[in-house]
Chains A and B, each alone.
Chain A
Amino acid sequence: MKNLWQTALAALLLCAGLNPASGAEPIKIGSFLAVTGPASFLGDPELKTLQMYVEDLNAKGGVKGRKLELIHYDTGGNAKDAVSFVKRLIKNDNVDLIIGGTTTGDTLAVIPDVEKEGIPFISLAGAVDIIEPVKKWVFKTPHTDRMAVAKIYEDLRKRGLTKVAIITGDGGFDKSGREQLLKLAPQYGITIVADESYGNKDTDMTAQLTKIRATDAQAIINFGLGQAPAIVTKNIKQLGITLPLYQSHGVASKTFIDLAGDAAEGARLPAAALVVAEQLPDTDPQKPVLLAYKNKYEAKHGPVSTFGGHAYDGLMIAVAAIQQAGGTDKAKVRDEIEKTQGFIGTAGVFNTTPQDHMGLTVDAFKLVEIRNGSWKIVQ
């Protein structure tokens, strides 16, 4: 009901030729994240990060003298809800820009509305399809799955391994990872000898892994999110398979190591530098940014994951763009986001261009190995 009156009032003010966006008006940042549901371990740290830094920026006097206001809706990872909440953000809450879309499905579903309404949108989802082909209003901060696959394949090449078995889940992240694995394999001279899948809520993958054991694979790659990769890892050990195991950046959180336990030892995966911040040389320009974020997050919410870092990057890029644009004019903010150069975030150094709406390169990823229950950079 309150919203009804607000809408009516806003309409009245507009009719009278009054501009409601005076200097004291807060900058409204809209967000829609999968805080519950199967992708909650992504969405939850993202939301916590946004809330923490919005509070922090406001304590420092806001942006351009205006306070930030975060309006957030939980999609539960459901694309249908994502569409309706993005409409709500745009039409009902009149937000100035949107940071969100935890999953690729959520993000792809809202792109038509975002493009039609013309509002800057920074996505926190992985798939390369989000920015290829380039969409005018859509940006993203996480590394793409293609980069993750490239990083893994580079390492395989270094180790002289050419035959791999892949096993992936049935979620969006998993499937689009699988697609990239199949697509990039020929470029790196890799043959995929087994291509298995599982349901993300399955409790046992030994049947699939038994099939893999019977092939002549030299390594196993698992693309998945949540608890399933931990089960895969445990099942591999159970079956006595000793092949090198590669995981995706989707498991770059302490939870994975806790769940998989000893079985995770020796597994390798591409991950943002955040998980190995302390091990970076002091000369690395990313180090202070990473440590600052990590300490701030862990002081309040416990173990940090790389996923919250994507929200940090998105928010900071947006704030910088608003500062450059001198206000919240949507077209100007969009142009400034596109001009982001040398921004040091948690995922790497961003150099966005009109052709590249992410702006990260493959070396933004570090290849890490799990050793003694912790992450080690593979040199």
Chain B
Amino acid sequence: MRLAGFYTFAAVVALLPMLFPTNYFVTVVGASAGLHVILAVGLNLLMGYAGQISLGHAAFFGMGAYASAILTTRFGWPSLLALAAGLLVAGAIAWLLARPILRLRGHYLAMATLGFGIIVHVVMVQATRWTGGPDGLAGVPPLNLLGWAVEGDLQWYGVIMAAMLLAVWLSLNLVDSQFGRALRAVHGSEFAAQMMGIDIGRAKTQVFVVSALFAAFAGSLFAHQQAFVSPDSFNLIVSVELVTMVVLGGMASTFGAACGAIALTLLHQGLVVFEDYEMVIHGALLMAVMIFLPQGLFVGLSQGARRLWATVPRKP
């Protein structure tokens, strides 16, 4: 019963391509939304549950993507090995960074993560010999899963959705584990958590690493799916977008983060037809949602629905 929401979600994800196998909005936008869900769910562990903001999460996303792109194109590594290397690099950097950076609070933490994101972005732009510079790195080979090369939008939809469901499932389980409870305690009051015998430094480090791993994993898939990486997919704006997804959907809720990721992806596709008016509408919508549903779309709406349900008169 605990995972009822998960099974419903999985069923919808599986059903969509069967109904619309060639529809752009399912296979292409859906795949893009799937990657965003992995990123948002990972970031939500850090932001929503542990209460630590990160304005540099695109850096980990980029590390995964560039590790896969560089190792497969320049060194001919098999894609799964490159993926693992990407996870290792991002995880190690997150681990090294976690202690000093997570000592900071609030806006200072925001600043430090933002600075980290900018440094990584500058390296992507300037280290032309390795990264291809601002124009990026083309010709990333298809993802090879033990002999099966993933190609075409429909196959990619399948792979990314499977990865996304895995991420959501992991997140749901993590949150319910002892680890999750420790995180929430840290969020509530670090002092109290410490009193309860929780090693705060360790809990924070772990969640930072886990959320970096989610991002790097999405990055690897992204590099193979696009067959191309360039720094503008991993800049500050992307980091801010990721934070927006988490908050928009509803913090401290795995489905909230997922919902925010999907909503923002669709919004972007939907608004592009308004051309010059896109920005005004985007900004106004973002403000309106946060003003009227400060807990986020998913959390706010589901609470509203519950309240509405409670007011429905029932027969005795």
Contact = CB atoms under 8 A, between A and B. Distances in A.
Interface of A: 3-4, 7-8, 11, 35-36, 72-74, 77-81, 83-85, 87-88, 91-92, 104-105, 108-109, 111-112, 127, 129, 170-172, 174-176, 179, 197
20 contacts: A3-B23, A7-B23, A35-B275, A36-B279, A77-B232, A79-B233, A80-B232, A83-B226, A85-B272, A88-B28, A88-B269, A108-B135, A108-B136, A108-B228, A111-B138, A127-B135, A172-B133, A175-B128, A176-B133, A197-B126
Contacts of A176: 133, 135
Contacts of B136: 79, 105, 108-109
A127 B233 CA distance: 20
Contacts of A127: 135
Interface in B11-33: 20, 22-25, 28-29, 32
Interface in B161-212: none
A175 B226 CA distance: 22
Interface in B45-74: none
Contacts of A170: 125-126, 134
B232 A78 contact: yes
B109 interface: no
Contacts of B272: 73-74, 85
Contact of B135 (A3, A72, A85, A104): A104
Contacts of B98: none
Contact of A4 (B23, B139, B226): B23
Contacts of B28: 84, 87-88, 91
B230 A79 contact: yes
A91 B152 CA distance: 12
Interface residues of B, number: 31
Contacts of A112: 138-139, 227-228
B125 to A, nearest CB: 5
A105 B227 CA distance: 13
Given A78-B232, A87-B28, A175-B128, A105 B134 contact: yes
B232 A7 contact: no
**7 A-B pairs with least C-beta separation:** A92-B24, A172-B135, A172-B134, A91-B24, A175-B133, A79-B230, A80-B233
Nearest to B272: A73
Given A7-B23, A36-B279, 14 more contacts: A3-B25, A4-B25, A36-B278, A77-B232, A80-B232, A84-B269, A87-B24, A91-B22, A105-B135, A105-B136, A105-B232, A170-B125, A175-B125, A197-B126
A79 B24 contact: no
A361 to B, nearest CB: 24
B255 to A, nearest CB: 24
Interface in B256-288: 268-269, 272, 275-276, 278-279
Contacts of A4: 20, 23, 25
Contacts of B228: 79, 83, 108-109, 112
A81 to B, nearest CB: 8
A44 to B, nearest CB: 10
A7 to B, nearest CB: 5
A80 B79 CA distance: 21
A35 B279 CA distance: 12
Interface in B215-271: 226-228, 230, 232-233, 268-269
Interface string B110-135: 00000000000000011010000111
Contacts of A79: 136, 228, 230, 232-233
A293 B29 CA distance: 38
Nearest to B28: A87
Interface in B133-173: 133-136, 138-139, 153
**Most chain A CB inside 10 Å of its own CB: which residue of B28, B29, B269:** B28
